[in-house]
Structure 1
Amino acid sequence: MNETGVITTLRPWLRHLARRRGRLAIGALLMLLALMAALGLLALSGWFITATGLTGLALAAGAAVTLDVYVPGGGIRAFALTRTLARYGERLYNHDTVLRLLADLRGHLFSVLAALDLASLSRRRASDWLNRLTADIDSLDSLFLRLLAPALVALVAILALSGFVALWAPLAGGSVALVLGVAWVWLTFGQARWGMAASRRRVTELERLRGRVIEHLTGMAELETFGALAEQRQRLDAIEARLREDQRQLGRIAALGLSLGGLMVGLAWLLAFWVGATLWEAERLSGPVLVMIPLAIMALNEAVMALPMAFTQFGATLAAAERLNALEAARVAPGDLATRRLPTAGPLSLQLDRVSLRYPGALKAALADVSLTLAVGERVALCGPSGSGKSSLAALVARQLRPDSGALYLGGCAVEHLDEEALRRRLAVLTQDTELFDDSLAANLWLGDPQASEAALWQRLDDVELGDWARELPHGLATRVGEGGRRLSGGQARRVALARLMLRDPGLVLLDEPFNGLDAPLARRLAARLDQWLEGRSVIVFSHHHEPEAQPLPGVNRRVTLPDQG
């Protein structure tokens, strides 16, 4: 990848960093302060020790000389204290900054994932999306802390030290700038290019390994049953072998970079010492300064040696940025005219005009030339067998999918032209899957209406016959429901989802198998209560059953059969 491509790939993430430019600048200054204090400490110590030794020799020879030990002694203590405090403050402050950046990036990426349509989400497993949200974002934390800031600080230190040396020996200063400048270019751009392929492969193989391990663990019984366990382990072994090889290659590249960095720093101080010795011999440079210059250059090892390892792994950061950029590009964005607003109250009409939809790679269309009209305030039961496209139709109305052809109109407006906030506020969908988060019962209910009072929460729990159960819980509404609601039974989780839905005030309600998993008597009682809540709203109830007595449906006006798309 060329330099333009690298900048284009990283530009969105550099913009995110720029939002905290103040903290990043302070962090970089702390890094520079710690490094300059280290340089000053070693340089002044070398000067002071040499000056003290030469003064002692002169006094022993009977010469009348003086040396102020208080100023350099105080300077050494000041540099030592500054280095310690700056290093501690830099670590504390920069890691806090990086944690804030990670929170920003994860929040942003979660919003991107939430905006992906179902077709995009279905292409990958949940573990793959989790990897994007964690591992890829973690790879980007090196962008500031291990790449940009250390490289910039090292470059500033090289230029500053070269200028400092040039005050006594211009030729030595120029030599230091040339040698260490070449070293800096190689240890950043050179190491990044050399390790690019292996570090990018390593990220890909790690993702593949995670996916295979999850497959292995979740499908172990099936693999064992069909005798495929050994083959699956061989695949894992092959991936691990490739990872080890890439890791060895990256280790060799980083080790060479470290060796080269040490060699170039050594060459720089050797050249400076040689030039200084020549000047000393010509009595144009004092002995303490002659010692101070190479010692100051040696202190640059601290800055230079941090570069090879980080830039050798630059390909991993770039690959993570590319994958996250691809997610940004796949995000479903509203149309250019997505400014139409729905009425803030009252039922909504819905019209589907010859809508067709086919999922990528599917053998058949999910929907083919489907037309449907739902009048204002009407309740329709949309029935059909599995695979007839009921859930796909609901996703189209919710704009989680885009039709391949045809049009959808909600409240007389084309769905793709509707304001996002207005659409989410006026449309309520109860899907077949019950989505609960690992949080309190109250927090899961407040997703329906964040402004709802606790009294309203209890009322809706009573409506779904969970109020008495919730009151007996040790922590009441504060009880955590577990990941995916696993601490609840399937029926309880379904009723919590119904209670959450009833906290909203939509104009159109889509209910996909609303009483799935509930026994018939309970379903009939809930249907009666739900019927009251649905008064004055437009409703579509999706059901596998064609017979009215097969499943209670809340007060539908008519039934429409959706044919099997096969």
Structure 2
Amino acid sequence: MKSSNDATLIATFRPWLKVLGRRRRRLWVGGLLMLLTVVAAIGLLALSGWFITATAITGTLLAAGIQATLDIYRPGAGIRFFAVGRSVVRYVERIYNHDTVLRLLADLRAGMFAVMTRLDERVMGQLRASEWLNRLTADIDALDSFYLRLLAPPLVALLAIGGIGVLLGLFAPGIGIAVTIPLLGLWLWLVVGQARLGLAASRRRIATLDRLRMRSIEQMQGLAELRCYGTLGAHRQALLAEERALYDDQRRLGRYQALGSALVSMGVTLSAVLALWLGARAFTAGEIGGPVMVMLPLAVLAMNEALALLPTGFTHFGSTLAAAERLNGMAALRGSIRDPQSPLDLPAGPLSLALENVSLEYAGTGPSQGVRSVAPALAAVSLDITPGERVALVGESGAGKSSIAKLAARLIEPEQGQVLVGGRSIREIALSVLRSRIGYLTQHAELFHDTLAANLRLADAQADDARLWGVLDIVDLAAWARELPQGLDTWVGESGRQLSGGQARRVALARVLLSEPDLLILDEPFSGLDVETASRIAGRLDTWLDGRTVIYLAHDESVLPRVDRSLRLREGRLV
């Protein structure tokens, strides 16, 4: 009967075993290459020991005038075969297995990204951006040891122990059994004992690394605020405390790993000594020859090749376990937004937007958390925007403008009331259809480390260069883009850092225009632009927007193009 701990362990790793199962053939080939490396090492040492001893004995007999013969060609060829084969197989195994692991990590990241795309903003808000980043990078990277250190090496080592037992048993069954028992005990300690010994420290280490990365990102991003409020020193001290805790656990794990390595050396050496002692007794009894007596302990010494990786992998087992648990928690997250079973179609042309008595509270302030918000994001808001109308939602930060935009794009759901797009309840429209008809320029310009063209084509992968130049011209970037060394193929840098803030904003606006939406929500579209540039873009945009419904979100309506009416929001209410 399995213990609860074993059941929990299996449940934790089951999803990742399924991911590995998709590349089952590559994993078996990689494991076979590892096994062949160990077999070559055993064969090289065993055959070399036998050949050297046999050569020495033959030479001694010939020197004493006793007739003796020895075939040196086949053993010599065997030694060269094992020596060259070991180097070649080891090289191929490293290249092949690391390529496999990189493929597995790509599978894991793609799976986690797919999970994140199904989450709404409420669920995403449960973790900070640095924590999401840590899940997608450090936690997934921690799982790269799952196959290379935790699955294949112990299995290969176990097979090698069995092979050594059989090899020794062919010449002296008693020696094979006697040597196999301590090697199995050593294997059991390296797999189970080392894992238990380093479990707590390695789990703490990965949690400390998570906090350390998070605090470091917070300090870099909020350096000005920390200085302004005089809390930079305290924040640094917290960072130093996390760093000291990390180093303490790293030193502790280093000692555990050194213990495991020492046990490997000592266990294999003592097993070889045992094989030598029993072999000497068998030689004295005339059961085996001298070359075989020397071959047996040397074959056992080759077990260092099979057992050397186990201390490192299993001492840090807790890190892999903790990463798997956290990623399981991430994979289990489910957003509240679902596609309808029988979706309704949207009418062609510009779309209307209506909110009927909508109230909204963000996570952490609602009844489920036990604390009600004094000022909800939206409180019983009702509005009706007709097809083709241009409306400005004006208000200070926190007034509720972005909340209305997110409700319209169905990034969040209201606590009460309903949202209608094109006269249909938003819950009855397929998400893919809804979001293909709505263009939303958010407050932050999200650009990726890729070319200008690739960042634009996120809106329409089939768009040709002519369309790209067209939307760039609307946002007054065409002349600038033509002067770039590689034009549309120029890389914009990570988060668009090769561009100015205003340029990045306009690239994001051009991307929204490229999607040809029927309802546009533009949040501060001219932020970061001088008055002359904003006026020039507004004139071009005014023509392009004809026949579309437009909602501007702004602090000041005077900077906006032509609008049909303005609605002012204050503390989640229309005033």
Question: How far did 1:442 drift?
Answer: 1.8
Q: How large is the Cα RMSD of the aligned pairs?
A: 2.6
What are the within-5 Å matches in structure 2 for residues 14-93 of structure 1?
Answer: 14-93=17-96
For 1:447, the aligned partner's letter is L
Match of 2:402 among 391, 403, 422: 391
Question: How far did 1:205 drift?
Answer: 1.2
The superposition leaves residues 198-223 of structure 1 with CA deviations (integer Å, 9 ceiling, x where unpaired) of 00111111222223333444444554
Match of 1:244 among 242, 247, 250: 247
Relative to structure 1, is the Cα distance of residues 475 and 314 closer, same or farther in structure 2, using a 3 angstrom cutoff?
A: same
Match of 1:565 among 564, 567, 572: 572
Question: How far did 1:125 drift?
Answer: 4.1
Paired with 1:225 and 1:414, the residues of 2 have a C-alpha distance of: 47
The superposition leaves residues 471-518 of structure 1 with CA deviations (integer Å, 9 ceiling, x where unpaired) of 233332223333333333333333222222111122322222223333
Q: Percent identity?
A: 55
**Further displaced range: 455-464 or 118-127:** 118-127
Question: How far did 1:341 drift?
Answer: 5.8
- 1:338–1:418 contact (8 Å) kept in structure 2: no
**Further displaced range: 513-522 or 19-28:** 513-522
- Is 2:196 aligned against 1:193? yes
What are the within-5 Å matches in structure 2 for residues 341-352 of structure 1?
Answer: 342-343=345-346, 345-352=348-355
For 1:434, the aligned partner's letter is A
- 2:339–2:430 contact (8 Å) kept in structure 1: no
Cross-structure match for 2:560: 552
For 1:475, the aligned partner's letter is Q
Paired with 1:5 and 1:140, the residues of 2 have a C-alpha distance of: 17
Cross-structure match for 1:497: 508
For 1:463, the aligned partner's letter is I
**Further displaced range: 335-344 or 90-99:** 335-344
Cross-structure match for 1:451: 462
For 1:562, the aligned partner's letter is L
Cross-structure match for 2:369: none
Question: How far did 1:412 drift?
Answer: 5.0
- 2:392–2:563 contact (8 Å) kept in structure 1: no
- Is 2:139 aligned against 1:136? yes
What are the within-5 Å matches in structure 2 for residues 367-446 of structure 1?
Answer: 367-416=378-427, 418-446=429-457
**Further displaced range: 482-491 or 149-158:** 482-491
Match of 1:296 among 285, 288, 299: 299
- 2:439–2:513 contact (8 Å) kept in structure 1: no
TM-score (norm 1): 0.91
- Is 2:105 aligned against 1:94? no
Paired with 1:412 and 1:162, the residues of 2 have a C-alpha distance of: 77
- 1:377–1:536 contact (8 Å) kept in structure 2: yes
- Is 2:359 aligned against 1:356? yes
Cross-structure match for 1:119: 122
The superposition leaves residues 146-205 of structure 1 with CA deviations (integer Å, 9 ceiling, x where unpaired) of 221212211111112212222222222223332222221221122112211100111111
Match of 1:323 among 310, 323, 326: 326
Q: Flag structure 1 segments of 5+ consecutive residues without an equivalent.
A: none
Cross-structure match for 2:163: 160
Q: Secondary structure at the match of 1:34?
A: helix
Question: How far did 1:69 drift?
Answer: 1.4
The superposition leaves residues 37-86 of structure 1 with CA deviations (integer Å, 9 ceiling, x where unpaired) of 00000011111112222223333444433221111111111111100111
Match of 1:179 among 182, 189, 194: 182
Question: How far did 1:530 drift?
Answer: 2.7
Q: Flag structure 2 segments of 5+ consecutive residues without an equivalent.
A: 366-372
- 1:340–1:413 contact (8 Å) kept in structure 2: no
Relative to structure 1, is the Cα distance of residues 489 and 244 closer, same or farther in structure 2, using a 3 angstrom cutoff?
A: closer
**Further displaced range: 391-400 or 191-200:** 391-400
For 1:428, the aligned partner's letter is G
Cross-structure match for 1:463: 474
- 1:180–1:268 contact (8 Å) kept in structure 2: yes
Paired with 1:267 and 1:369, the residues of 2 have a C-alpha distance of: 79
Paired with 2:387 and 2:314, the residues of 1 have a C-alpha distance of: 62
- 2:337–2:413 contact (8 Å) kept in structure 1: no
Match of 2:520 among 499, 509, 520: 509
Q: Secondary structure at the match of 2:332?
A: helix
Cross-structure match for 1:282: 285
The superposition leaves residues 301-339 of structure 1 with CA deviations (integer Å, 9 ceiling, x where unpaired) of 121121011111111111122222222222537526456
Paired with 1:344 and 1:298, the residues of 2 have a C-alpha distance of: 77
The superposition leaves residues 381-431 of structure 1 with CA deviations (integer Å, 9 ceiling, x where unpaired) of 333332121112212232322333443343455444543432332221111
Paired with 1:37 and 1:141, the residues of 2 have a C-alpha distance of: 26
Q: Secondary structure at the match of 2:171?
A: coil
